[in-house]
Structures are given as structure tokens and as C-alpha cells.
Chain A
Amino acid sequence: MSEYRKRTSALRALAMGSLVALTAAFATSGAALAQTMGGTVTVVHNSNPPSLDAMATSSGQSRNVNMNVYETLYGFDENIVPMPILAEGVDISPDGLKYTFTLRKGVKFHNGDVMKASDVKASMERYRKVGATGNLLNAVESFEIVDDYTIIFHMKAKTPTFLESFSSPRAPAVIIPEEDFAAEAGKTSLVGTGPYKITEYVPDSHVTLEKFADYTQDTRYSGPDGFGGKKTAYFDKAIFRVIVEPGAQVAALEAGEVDILDVMPPSAARRLEGSKDIEVQENKLWAFSTFILNANDGLTSNVKFREAVQVALNMEEVVGIATEGLFTLNGGWVYPGTTYDAGDIGAADYYNKHDVEKAKALLKEAGYNNEPFSLLTDNSIPVHNKTAVVIAEQLKAVGINVVINQVDWPSALNLRMQDTGWNGWTLSMGIEPYLGPAAITATLAGTRPHFVKPDPVLEELYKELTAGETVEARKATFAKIQKQLYTYFGIIKLGDIGLLQATRSNIEGFKTFRFPRVYDIWRQ
């Protein structure tokens, strides 16, 4: 493992040491107590869920709510391995062309109907049309209902990674009643099979969930595990409230008005260290902080220029400031120590170099003549605009004329979809690195990669990756992908960033995850 991955900032170590201790103390005390039924839990997140139609959106805010309401056939367990949730299991034919899913019997929808194969078929066909990542079903030729509890997915070709991508929570392929088959995106009856049901949505204010009394627990497991497992709803009501200002969120938590903060600012966590009322948990591997360059527009269409940006940056300074110390330096494109970890291949010569002289030489080679570099960022996600400000200063130091274009998050998403008019864009990638190499590479391949202009080499490597028969083969391909990313310089890895979440101390059982699970938590 490379040397800079191990380096964690002193500030962070200082702050987090005690947080980890707190968390540990919290976890043991939780197990010893008896669970209490009833009451209301209030979770705070910072913006509206764009849609409560789970399959139609890949927004994190939507996931926060929806993953408590809807369930998928397969989903990830705590260790990011696919596990059956609504499925009893799957039988994959030896040629890889037939996936036979058997369904759990007697699972009830919120409307009282029992889930059958026809509901699954309707959901999958709707997912093809309105699913935010509908293309993950491109590998499937057709769905065949065998009986009420058996359905076969006929594949077009062998796709070894299908089950993993099918289990993705990014825009989850949830099972909804057959009656919602024809509903346009966002126009469903909001009925799912989860432990909570949606009873009220007031935009800019809150979503109210109520316990689903007839919830069919998955008794194969002993407790919740990742997105599945045996889920128990203790609270009668769960409210997801929108509070935009981080300062106001913390104040509401301190006042006891709300119970769980989806994002806890590190500076507030440090201040509240040792507080009897508030507990903080750290999710270390939350996201990749990245800086995307538009390979299609003016300046940044020149690979020498992009290389200059890469070598000019001091990642420790950028990510350290942006995350208030909650980061790990890592130039690799998967989390350290995971299966596909390619070490510092490619990164060794380029990551965290802060080589001003080399950057200036490269700029000269690129024929740079003080043209403006338009840096797109948003003011909705603090990590993004802080990253942009620090990057801008570092690029100015090597002589690049940076102009920051700071807009709100929806506008930024809109602007970056334009082929020109921006040179750099700051993005924290949360769910893709969680899902692994295929999900990351998918955003960098295809007809519209993040850096706009497709790179034929990456395109080929992506195909090689998804067709890889064995883990070993895929690992080898991924190492080549990482190398290529440090040749093309369309996207710059800044570091791995963490997330803090906070709860009132009397909330028991809460464990930080990709979304706040409101089941299997209770008030002491």
C-alpha cells in the first residue's frame, strides 16, 4: 500500500479518536438494553428528496427515505455482497443465460396485496422505462413468469457482474404493485413492501412515514444486515425533516427537537465531544472527492493542460480543508484494502504532487496563454464549494486564470451536462465507490462520461471489466483502468472522505450506513 494512503491528518486523528471511543461505548450499551416500542423519531437531512418513486431517482435524499419504504429482490449486505431480500434465492444456469428467482411467500404490500411474480415482472418492465439506471436491465432479454412465486430473467449474453449491478441501491430496482406498472416517473401510489409506509409528503418541510403493521419480516436472518435482513419497526412514526442550514440542524439536535442528523459538521462534532446528550458516529468510507475536467472544452481538451492541473494540486490541503480533517489520502480508484485495490498504479507519479515547476512547464507545453478556466461548483454541498475554492487558489499559483462559477446544486447538475462552457467540476462520488469498480467505471465510459468526451481506451477496458469471468481477471482489468485514468486525466481523484452522523443519546440501535435506517432503532 502506498505511503500516502496511510497518512491521515493529525487534526483528524485527534478529533476522531475520541469519537470512535464514543461510538464503541455506545454500541455496547445499546445491546444490553431492552427495546421500546412506539413514539416518533425525527431524522434531518439537508434537502428535499427529489422523488419518492424509488426506482426513478438516484438521489441520496430519496434513498434516505425510500430504503425504509421499498425493498428489492436482491440487495447488498453490510459487506457489500448481494443478499436475497424479497427473493428466496436465485438459480443461475451454468451458461449464465437464465436467472431463476424464487420469491418469498406471503410478503405483503402496504396496500394489503400479496407480492407475486406478476408484480415483479411489472416492476422490472417499469424499471426499464423509468429507472434512473434502467440500462442495468439491458442485459436482460425478457422476463418469464413460471408461477406466482417464480420468475426467470432470460439474458442476452453471459453477464458475470449482473447480480451485483442488479443489487445496486443507486436507483434501486424495487418491487412495487403491478397496478403501478403504467405510472409515469414520480406518479406511483408510493406503495412498497418495507417496514414503513409513506403517509405524508410536504416539500421543503418533511416526509412522514408510519409503521406498516402487517410488515412481513424476513425470518431467515436474526437482525438487519445492509439493505436487508430481519427488520423490526419500533417507532410508530418516522419523520424525515428538511433543514437546509448545517448550523440550524445542529441547534435542533442540541435542543432535542430532532433525533438524528444525516450529516454532522466535523467542527460541531468536535465541540460536542463529551456531550451526554449527543453521540456521533463516523462513516469513514463515505465518498471519493473528485475534480472532473471537461475533455471536450477549450483549455481542458488538451491532455497536457489536464496533466498540469493534476500535478499542480496539493490533495492534502484540498481535501483536508474541504472535509475539516475527515479524510484519507488515496490516489487509487477503489477503497484501500478492498478486493479490487490496485495500489498506487498510475497514482505514484501523479497523486498529491503539488509540483509547481512541472505544472508550469506543462502549461507552457500546452501553449496556455492565460485563457479563463471556468470552475463549476455549487453552494448547496459545503464540501464541493470548499474544494473548488482551494483548488482555485492552487491553480492560480501555477498561473492558471481560474474563474469560479458557483451556482445551486440543481443548476450545477444541469450545467455540467452541457458539452462546453465549463472546464472543471467538483463532485463527491458516494454511491459508486461503495458499489465498486464497475459502477465507478460506468460513469467514466459510455457515450457521455463525466469528462464529456469519451476515451476509447477506457471504453474498451470497461467492456473487458464487465465481461471478466473471474475476480482475478477483473482485478487485472481494473488495474489497467486506474493506469489509464492517470494517462487521460479526465477526472482527478482528490481523496477518500468520511461522513459523521449524530443521534440523540437516547436513540438506541442506530448504526451509520448508506442511508439512515429508521427500523431496529428505538428510544431508551
Chain B
Amino acid sequence: MSVEAIQDDTGGSLRAEMARARRRRTTQFVVRLLRHPSFAIGAAILLVFVVVAVFAPLIAPYDPNKNSYRFVLYPPSAEFLFGTDSFGRDILSRVIYGARVSLYIAVAVVVLTGIFGVILGTLASYVRWLDAFVMRGLDGLMAFPGVLLAIALAAALGPSATTAIVALSVTFTPRTARVVRAGVLVVQGMQYVEAAHAVGASHLRIIFRYILANALSPLIVQLTYVFAVSIIAEAILSFLGVGPPPPAPSLGNIIAEGRNTIQEAWWIAVFPGLVIAVVVLGLNLMGDGLRDIIDPRQRNER
């Protein structure tokens, strides 16, 4: 008889009660998060960034790729809040669309890193004999400085948004896998996991329902970190010319284009630079808040 059947026998009312309790816990958790000042500030910044990026076509005052010889290198003004670049393109619009590219890449990297990090980390800890193979492989990747590896990969694959995603995912997966592995190692020694084994639960069910569910908190903190670093790393790759190819705006390549005229037209590089700085600050604040709330040991230490 399967575990499902046993639970079903316990009746629907208990299930509903458990679900209500779970919902209550979630609400309490969210409230606690939002009361945490650094999380709230960070989340607000990120929210603005995401809204701007998602609704870019509605918010941007101009077409980000529209060249105009008449408007070359205009300083910031009411007409062009952030000024224009050497193509006569509106920097504000380019920054807004650039945020979109950064966001797209960062989200994709977080999703891919999360998936592969969980798969590899869980495999390594749950299937003991695989541990050495998987982790030594990942150690090999970790031996390269992160961004350097991404640059090498991006250079080999040719410049594009997809390349940046692949390069950054490969770079960040080993660290994520490590975090997952550590969490899983701790949890899988717990008695309730042994109990699940004892009642004959399937491996998949044990992994998802009992182990991962309880090993997620460090992963979430790790992924906010990956998100922040991805935005910076994407900017670095684009700055070096291995990100999305022109004319697509990205925070990094706007800065790269502004670098040659920094003394004549400071606004080209400064505004996207500020945006990166603020967003990364927001993400870090949010990550700190999350860690404080999620990780009970940290909370007790304070």
C-alpha cells in the first residue's frame, strides 16, 4: 500500500487543516520579511527595476535604437533626461531597454542555475558514490575565477544574449550545487527522512517532499546572490563586447560605448552605471534580509 493511500485514509479534514496552517505560516513569513527594513528597501528597488523592465515599451520615451544625426551627444535636458549618445539615441530609453535585457538574462541564469544546482547538488549528496565525481568536476570549474570563465565561454560561443546566459549559468552552477549539497547532507540524516524511507516512500518523493523542502533556505539566499552577480556579470560581458551584439542596448554596452567620450559626454556612462549600482545594492539588501529571516541560526546569533 502506498504512502498516498495511507494519508488519504486519514481523511480530508486533517489535510485542509494542514493547508490552512501552511498558509498562515506563509503569511507570517511574508509579513516578517516586509517588516525587515533592508529587505523592504531592497525589494522596493527590485520591484521598480522589474516593473520598468517589463513595461519598457510603455515607459521609454523614445525608440532606444533610433539614430539621429541631429541629436548627437546632447547633454541631459528636459527633452532627453539622461542625454543622448554618439548615435543621437536617447540614453534613458536605452537604459530602460537595457534593464530589460539585464533582467531577462539574470532571470534565465537564476532559473538555470537553480535547476542544475539542485539536480547536481542533490545527486552528489543523495547518491553517495556520485559525490566524488560530481563535486570534483564542479571543483574544476570553480578553480577558474567566475567572470573569467564566463568571458572565456562567451568568447568561444560568440556574442549573444544566449551565450551570456549559458556562460553565466555554467559559472554559477558549481557554487549553487555546493550550497544545495551541504543543505541536503544535513537534512538527509534527519530522523523523519529515515522514517520516510522506513514507510517505503519513493526516492523522488523523499527528495522533493522531505529533503529539498527543508534545504531550500540557503538556496534562496544563494539565488538572490546569483541574480545580483548576474546583473553585474552581464554588464561586464557586454562591456567587454561578448554580451548581446549591438545595437541591442544592455547596461554594460551602453557604458562601453560611453567610455570613449567620458570626458566629453559623461552622461552616457554615468547613468547606466548608477542604475547598476542601485539595483545591485537593492539585491544585496534583499539577500541580507532574506538570510536574516530564513536562517534561524543567524537570527538567534543576533
Contacts and interface: CB of A to CB of B under 8 A. Distances in A.
Interface stretch (A156-164, A175-183, A379-387): A379-387
Contact of A379 (B65, B241, B262): B241
A78 interface: no
Interface residues of A, number: 31
A267 interface: yes
Contact of A324 (B68, B86, B241): B86
Interface string B237-272: 000010001110000000000011111110000000
Contacts of A247: 259-263
A320 interface: yes
Interface in A142-194: none
Contacts of B69: 9, 316-317, 320-321
A393 B69 CA distance: 13
Contact of A321 (B67, B246, B262): B67
Contact of A393 (B66, B241, B259, B265): B66
A250 B263 CA distance: 10
Contacts of B247: 389, 392-393, 404
Contact of A267 (B241, B245, B261): B261
A476 interface: no
Interface in B56-115: 65-69, 72-73, 86-88
B263 A268 contact: yes
Contact of B72 (A324, A382, A404): A324
Contacts of A317: 67-69
A466 interface: no
A194 to B, nearest CB: 34
B264 A321 contact: no
Nearest to B248: A404
Given A246-B260, A267-B261, A404 B67 contact: no
Interface of A is mostly: helix
Contacts of B146: none
A325 B245 CA distance: 25
A386 B259 contact: no
Contacts of A265: 260-261
A390 interface: yes
B273 interface: no
Nearest to B256: A379
Contacts of B87: 321, 386, 389-390
A20 interface: no
A488 B9 CA distance: 83
Contact of B246 (A270, A320, A324, A406): A406
Contacts of B86: 267, 321, 324, 386
B159 interface: yes
Interface string A318-349: 00110011000000000000000000000000
A385 to B, nearest CB: 7
Interface of B is mostly: loop
Contact of B264 (A268, A382, A388, A390): A268
A371 to B, nearest CB: 18
Contacts of B66: 393
Contacts of A405: 245
A321 B65 CA distance: 13
A9 B262 CA distance: 24
Interface in A364-416: 379, 382, 385-386, 388-390, 392-393, 403-406
A245 interface: yes
A390 B259 CA distance: 19
Nearest to A380: B241
Interface string A36-70: 00000000000000000000000000000000000
A300 to B, nearest CB: 20
B67 A267 contact: no
A105 B197 CA distance: 100
Contacts of B264: 267-268, 270-271
B166 to A, nearest CB: 18
A321 B263 contact: no
A495 to B, nearest CB: 12
A11 interface: yes
A256 to B, nearest CB: 16
A491 B164 CA distance: 34
A14 to B, nearest CB: 12
Contacts of B245: 403-406
Interface in A303-324: 316-317, 320-321, 324
A87 to B, nearest CB: 44
B269 to A, nearest CB: 10
A324 B159 CA distance: 26
Interface in B127-167: 159
A164 B66 CA distance: 45
B139 to A, nearest CB: 33
B65 A393 contact: yes
Interface of B: 65-69, 72-73, 86-88, 159, 241, 245-247, 259-265
Given A404-B245, A404-B247, 12 more contacts: A11-B72, A245-B259, A245-B260, A247-B259, A247-B261, A268-B264, A271-B263, A382-B260, A393-B65, A393-B67, A404-B246, A405-B245
26 contacts: A9-B69, A247-B259, A247-B260, A247-B262, A247-B263, A265-B260, A267-B264, A268-B261, A268-B263, A268-B264, A270-B264, A317-B68, A317-B69, A320-B69, A320-B72, A321-B72, A324-B86, A379-B241, A386-B86, A389-B67, A389-B246, A390-B67, A390-B87, A393-B66, A406-B159, A406-B245
Interface of A: 9, 11, 245-247, 250-251, 265, 267-268, 270-271, 316-317, 320-321, 324-325, 379, 382, 385-386, 388-390, 392-393, 403-406
Which 7 A-B pairs rank lowest in CB-CB distance, beginning with the nearest? A320-B69, A267-B264, A389-B247, A246-B260, A317-B69, A247-B260, A271-B264
